[in-house]
């Protein structure tokens, strides 16, 4: 019965279990994969599980709503420097990242612990403050011991807390306004063939630009799917010919 309930929850949030598992296994987000530079030092500590680093079917983080059944303790008080000093070139206010983007930043901001797991596999491993498992960020050359926070090392994967040189997130998409910015397409615009989305988000027929938004805003998941390991940098659509950019930008 519990398995059926969990399957129903996964279906309700629009995830495909089979495709997500097939794509994340062996990817950079598979933190139990010993071929990865950044990973659990001892994958056996988490029963060689893949999903446990972000999700748990039971005992999840109830105070965080950015992702389903979240299995990480996360500091949601972290303040980020935002694009354009808080305003886009079109005059749109850029706020703090939304919760769904904070889920991504909980590993990529260099502040939150990558190795925090609330509910470890098996019994007796639940800790609301998060269990800090042994971890490595250099493919095992050194081990960060259990109980010590491991953060994303400097480099391209550490986005940091300074988001001024990154595409804005937490920013309202204004393509449907009476006088919208000329650079944005309407949210009813159909997505290009091959775009990977996780269900209908806006109620418009067919996969549309509106399905990429969260509460009407651009967030990390508008362009990236953390389970889509087959595409470089987990893009929802390969950016050949800038087709990902041109999905929203009328250029």
Give 159's contacts (C-beta < 8 A, 6+ positions apart): 105, 108, 109, 110, 166
Look at 6-10, 116-120, 130-134, 161-165 and tell me which has the smallest mean pLDDT.
6-10
Q: How many other CB atoms are there within 10 angstroms of residue 76's CB atom?
A: 14
- Cβ atoms of residues 94 and 166 within 8 Å: no
pLDDT score of 179: 87
Q: How many other CB atoms are there within 10 angstroms of residue 152's CB atom?
A: 21
Give residue-wise pLDDT tens across range 60-74: 999 999 999 999 999
Sorted by where each begins, the domain ranges of the chain are: 1-27+173-251, 31-166
> What is the pTM for the complete model shown?
0.88
Give residue-wise pLDDT tens across range 86-133: 998 888 999 999 999 999 999 999 999 999 999 999 999 999 999 999
Asked if pLDDT for residue 85 goes beyond 60, the answer is yes
């Amino acid at each position: 019965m519990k398995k059926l309930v969990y399957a129903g929850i996964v279906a309700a949030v629009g995830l495909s279990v089979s495709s997500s598992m097939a794509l994340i296994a062996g990817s950079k987000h598979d933190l139990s994969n010993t071929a990865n530079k950044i990973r659990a030092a001892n994958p056996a500590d988490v029963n060689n599980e893949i999903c446990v680093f972000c999700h748990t079917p039971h005992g999840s983080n109830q105070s965080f709503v950015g992702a389903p059944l979240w299995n990480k303790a996360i500091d949601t008080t972290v303040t980020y420097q935002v694009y354009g000093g808080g305003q886009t070139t079109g005059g749109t206010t850029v706020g703090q990242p939304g919760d769904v983007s904070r889920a991504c930043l909980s590993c990529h901001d260099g502040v939150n612990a990558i190795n925090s797991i609330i509910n470890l596999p098996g019994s007796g491993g639940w800790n609301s403050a998060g269990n800090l498992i042994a971890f490595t960020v250099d493919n095992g050359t050194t081990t960060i011991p259990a109980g010590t926070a491991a953060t994303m090392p400097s480099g391209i994967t550490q986005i940091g807390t300074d988001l001024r040189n990154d595409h804005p997130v937490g920013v309202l998409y204004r393509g449907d306004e009476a006088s919208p910015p000329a650079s944005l397409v309407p949210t009813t615009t159909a997505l290009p063939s091959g775009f990977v989305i996780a269900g209908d988000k806006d109620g418009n027929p067919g996969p549309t630009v509106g399905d990429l938004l969260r509460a009407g805003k651009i967030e990390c998941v508008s362009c990236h799917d953390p389970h889509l390991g087959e595409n470089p940098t987990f893009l929802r659509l390969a950016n050949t010919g800038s087709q990902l950019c041109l999905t929203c930008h009328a250029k």
